[in-house]
Amino acid sequence: MVGKIVAVEGVEGSGRTLHAEGIRTYLEEQGYGVITFGLGMSKLLGEAIARKKRDVVFQRRTLFLAYVTDLADQVENLVKPAVESGFVALADGYVLTLMAWGLTRGLERNWMEGVLRALPRPELTLALIAPPEEIMKRIIRKKGVLDPLSSGVDLCVNGDLYQGFRQYLERYLNNMRSLASDKGGVTVDTGRDFKVVQEEINSLVGGDLGEA
């Protein structure tokens, strides 16, 4: 039996990691073997990317390529062997998350699609969307501050960090919706009760795997 790739996509604060963890628990309870990978998670480049993200003047195209290299390393060394062995490879941030990040920063869609073409396409893509205000509350509650690069400081959207962040999120979320529609992803509203959302997500994942 060949496994599948399931991608959980979304901006920081959308509930991406928590819902990915929920999917993993659900699948393991159903008897599936699961591995997790995602943006900035490889041993090769994960720490280097984290350091570069602190530098808001770091060239965006270069950072995009670093993310792609990071994903390619994980796909080659972790995802492909796992999928060939029948595991479900669960992505905590994958192609759409990265493309929405790039589009919001003015990178060309055709160029990004060309770079990302080498990565395997997931069988199921879940695009997590929540209201900007809710996302901001979650990030501030978790970190106490806004991460410079993810909050759009590098875009110089607005002198007011909070308003700049909100504008950034609106643009990012619009890009995510558009990408999900174009790429056959399923949009999930994560602004609702966590348990309700997780049950909906589990149902979508279970239905997709049941078609294998």
CATH number at residue 61: 3.40.50.300
Write out the two tokens for 155: 């875009």
| High-pLDDT (> 70) share of the chain, % | 83
Q: How many CB atoms lie within 10 A of CB 193?
A: 9
Beta bridge partners of 90: 6, 36
pLDDT range class, residue 148, cuts 50, 70, 90: low
Q: Residue 116: what residue type?
A: L
DSSP state of 4: E
In the chain, alpha helices (H): 16-29, 46-53, 60-74, 80-84, 95-104, 109-116, 132-143, 161-183, 194-210
Torsion of CA 129, 189, 165, 108, to 10 degrees: 20
Q: How much is the mean pLDDT over the chain?
A: 88
Higher pLDDT, 121 or 140: 121
Q: Do residues 19 and 205 make contact, with C-beta atoms less than 8 angstroms apart?
A: no
pLDDT range class, residue 17, cuts 50, 70, 90: very high
CB-based burial, 55-76: b 16+ in 10 Å, e otherwise: eeeeebeebbebbbbbbbbbbe
Tell me: the pLDDT tens digits for 183-210?
Answer: 999 999 999 999 999 999 999 999 988 7
For 100, half-sphere exposure in the C-beta direction (CA atoms, 13 angstrom radius) is 30
pLDDT of residue 150: 55
Closest CA to 128 of 85, 167, 175, 176: 176
Sign of CA dihedral 37, 184, 112, 152: negative
pLDDT of residue 113: 97
pLDDT of residue 41: 75
Torsion of CA 47, 160, 176, 70, to 10 degrees: -10
Strands 88-92 and 34-38: parallel
pLDDT of residue 151: 55
How many domains does the structure of the chain reveal?
1
Structural domain of residue 100, as residue ranges?
A: 4-210
| Calpha distance 123→113 (Å, rounded) | 18
* Whole-structure pTM value: 0.88
Tell me: the pLDDT tens digits for 42-91?
Answer: 765 655 555 555 554 457 888 899 899 999 999 999 999 999 999 999 99
pLDDT of residue 144: 75
pLDDT of residue 108: 96
Closest CA to 68 of 114, 22, 126: 114
Nearest-10 crossing angle of helices 95-104, 60-74: 180
